[in-house]
Amino acid sequence: MGLVDRGVGITDHSGGVIRNNMSYRSAGSGGDAPISVYDSPNTQVLHNTIAINGTYPNVVEYRFADTTGILIQNNLITTGAITSRNGGAAIVQNNLLNTSNSCFVNVAAGDLHLLSTCTTAINKVTASVGVTLDIDGFARTQGTL
The answer to whether residues 33 and 60 touch, using CB atoms and an 8 Å cutoff, is yes
pLDDT at 61: 96
Buried b (16+ CB within 10 A) or exposed e, 115-129: eeebeebeeebebbe
Which one is predicted more confidently, 8 or 98?
98
pLDDT at 5: 45
Which residues are CB-contacts of 44 (< 8 A; sequence separation ≥ 6)?
16, 17, 18, 19, 70, 71, 72, 73, 128
Predicted confidence (pLDDT) per residue in 62-105, tens digit = 999 999 999 999 999 999 999 999 999 999 999 999 999 999 99
The Cα 76–Cα 97 span in angstroms is 6
Predicted confidence (pLDDT) per residue in 117-144, tens digit = 999 888 888 777 777 777 788 776 655 5
pLDDT at 127: 74
* Confidence check: pLDDT of 109 > 70: yes
